[in-house]
Structure 1
């Protein structure tokens, strides 16, 4: 008998609902379990998604589990999208106390029920929430993945593509560090079809020379350009979460910048931040610790300092001991 792939989503707001649609559109799950404190919202989303089953690649059992987080314990992947986007109108740190408080309502309940899958967390500040999940549970940190700068890296590729007239998927470029204002572009390794952008600019300066600061700022602030007219972001972050879900469910060994627990990479440890990673069935299989320039290293350290400063504001970090990791 074939093993059914099960995906759970906590938080069915703007982002969570779009994640559900992206997962179903890609045909990634045979069972989808939805949780939210807004009972009618989940009822309505389940109805809407079920009405769409005729147009998805294959059938899926879609379930409303309200706040029964324990019922997600048998999922292969659980995606955390719970938060309050209005509090992030200024920056992603605005949700700091809201999302971390929300996460504490389900973290222990899910893991105490025997969850052994992979967590993909979207809620901002993404690196702080990912660190919180690890800190509270003692779960294998490689099986807790923050979407981190995976989306910001796509925004950087978009910004570069518009300037050099090359398809985004042909560009190798990453934003690293915090999923927030302190993130930075890994310019020293940007390439197109394997050829460094610096060499392309030497060969064809008119086409490939660009303003790095302006381009990087477009990537860093892309989400707020979306928020300005919509009051939320939806499509791109949902696609990001679905892509990482696919990498886990299909054991793809997919390379992406995402938030993972630092254990000495770049001289940092104890918190989540984004570096290039290989993602497969067991979560982050390997962190590809990049060779950064001196300037990039300084930016990475500053970014981690900012993440830790946010963590230090939260009582649970200071009041509770780090747990012993369990599998």
Structure 2
């Protein structure tokens, strides 16, 4: 049987399987191939999903090796090593860079045409690492970036104003991390700017907006403190990103790409608005930033560059 939309997932952990579950339920992929060092786990996860075909139609999910990814159009990378007790961030980064070197070699050998979506953290640094290590064009290696942070911001704003999150238009740019920025100068609900306006009887409250941004930045920390990991929301982000690529939507999304002078920033991966389609990262869609936002984005880039300069690539 010929499967058209084959998607590979490297890493059958919590994030990888949340992505697989979302792709399976939304009928986005005809075939999912799970690659994990623990082959038994990957096989068990594949069997578990396969048993639900009665509700989604014929879909193939199987465990595989890198060689099985030859026909994959898209490969999602969620693999990485966890932080050891007492280990500093730089040591963790270098160990993950070593893991990515092995993954890049295998993917270049077996799936050289596939678009790679990086979801492993720190996603901006590891997107840059994969772009550096892989032979494929940079446009074919993208990170989920601040897509998750952006939906968190829209969700919290929607709760504050009691509206549908899909009516909220707001962006998080920069690092997927503490230095990320909210573009308040363009945030709006149904076309009405949030800054300075009363919306549905709620006056603009800068302190409340700052509190919401803090909640966005601390969201992962709060979730991890309660359940040990985050997975469901990023799984949906990954499914949305895969669909966007497959359907060549050219949707403008805040994904992590390597900058080449945009906003005066070069040679670092972070999130800016990018048109996403069949070729991966397409044209950049520059959004005018005010002086404070531009400086904050520059600071975010400098934070990431310090990490990159310390890596052994």
TM interval, short-chain normalised: over 0.9
Label 1:231 to 1:106 Cα distance change in 2 as closer, same or farther (>3 A).
same
- Which secondary structure state, in structure 2, belongs to the residue aligned with residue 258 of structure 1? strand
> Is the CA contact 1:118–1:282 (under 8 Å) kept in the aligned structure 2?
yes
Superposed displacement of residue 212, structure 1: 2.1
Structure 2 unmatched ranges of 5 or more: none
Q: Which residue of 2 aligns with 1:37?
A: 37
Superposed displacement of residue 91, structure 1: 11
**What is the alpha-carbon distance in structure 1 between the residues aligned to residue 194 and residue 156 of structure 2?**
14
TM, length-normalised to structure 1:
0.89
> Is the CA contact 2:94–2:312 (under 8 Å) kept in the aligned structure 1?
no
Label 1:176 to 1:87 Cα distance change in 2 as closer, same or farther (>3 A).
farther
Give 1:249-264 correspondences, 5 Å limit.
Answer: 249-264=246-261
Q: Which residue of 1 aligns with 2:214?
A: 217
- Which secondary structure state, in structure 2, belongs to the residue aligned with residue 180 of structure 1? coil
Q: Which residue of 2 aligns with 1:48?
A: 48
**What is the alpha-carbon distance in structure 1 between the residues aligned to residue 300 and residue 216 of structure 2?**
16
Q: Which residue of 2 aligns with 1:242?
A: 239
> Is the CA contact 2:144–2:256 (under 8 Å) kept in the aligned structure 1?
yes
Superposed displacement of residue 177, structure 1: 0.2
Label 1:92 to 1:296 Cα distance change in 2 as closer, same or farther (>3 A).
farther
Label 1:166 to 1:98 Cα distance change in 2 as closer, same or farther (>3 A).
farther
Superposed displacement of residue 95, structure 1: 4.7
Q: Which residue of 1 aligns with 2:110?
A: 113
State whether structure 2 residue 199 is matched by structure 1 residue 179: no
Label 1:111 to 1:74 Cα distance change in 2 as closer, same or farther (>3 A).
same
> Is the CA contact 2:254–2:271 (under 8 Å) kept in the aligned structure 1?
yes
Label 1:140 to 1:88 Cα distance change in 2 as closer, same or farther (>3 A).
farther
- Which secondary structure state, in structure 1, belongs to the residue aligned with residue 282 of structure 2? strand
Give the total of aligned pairs: 312
**What is the alpha-carbon distance in structure 1 between the residues aligned to residue 226 and residue 85 of structure 2?**
14
TM, length-normalised to structure 2:
0.93
> Is the CA contact 1:96–1:124 (under 8 Å) kept in the aligned structure 2?
no
> Is the CA contact 1:164–1:208 (under 8 Å) kept in the aligned structure 2?
no
Q: Deviations over 1:61-107 (max 9, x none)?
A: 21211xx3232132110000112455699998885234322211211
Superposed displacement of residue 168, structure 1: 0.9
**What is the alpha-carbon distance in structure 1 between the residues aligned to residue 90 and residue 241 of structure 2?**
23
State whether structure 2 residue 140 is matched by structure 1 residue 143: yes
> Is the CA contact 1:150–1:258 (under 8 Å) kept in the aligned structure 2?
yes
Q: Deviations over 1:9-64 (max 9, x none)?
A: 000101101111111111111111110001221111011111122222x3122121
Match of 2:99 among 99, 102, 121: 102
Label 1:311 to 1:41 Cα distance change in 2 as closer, same or farther (>3 A).
same
What is the root-mean-square deviation of aligned Cα atoms in Å? 2.3
**What is the alpha-carbon distance in structure 1 between the residues aligned to residue 43 and residue 214 of structure 2?**
40
> Is the CA contact 1:95–1:125 (under 8 Å) kept in the aligned structure 2?
no
Q: Deviations over 1:275-326 (max 9, x none)?
A: 111111111121111111111111111111111111112111xxxxxxxxxx
**What is the alpha-carbon distance in structure 2 between the residues aligned to residue 297 and residue 280 of structure 1?**
27
Superposed displacement of residue 204, structure 1: 6.1
**What is the alpha-carbon distance in structure 1 between the residues aligned to residue 50 and residue 2 of structure 2?**
23
**What is the alpha-carbon distance in structure 2 between the residues aligned to residue 265 and residue 45 of structure 1?**
42
> Is the CA contact 1:14–1:234 (under 8 Å) kept in the aligned structure 2?
yes
- Which secondary structure state, in structure 2, belongs to the residue aligned with residue 291 of structure 1? coil
Q: Deviations over 1:244-290 (max 9, x none)?
A: 00000111111211111111110111121001111111111211111
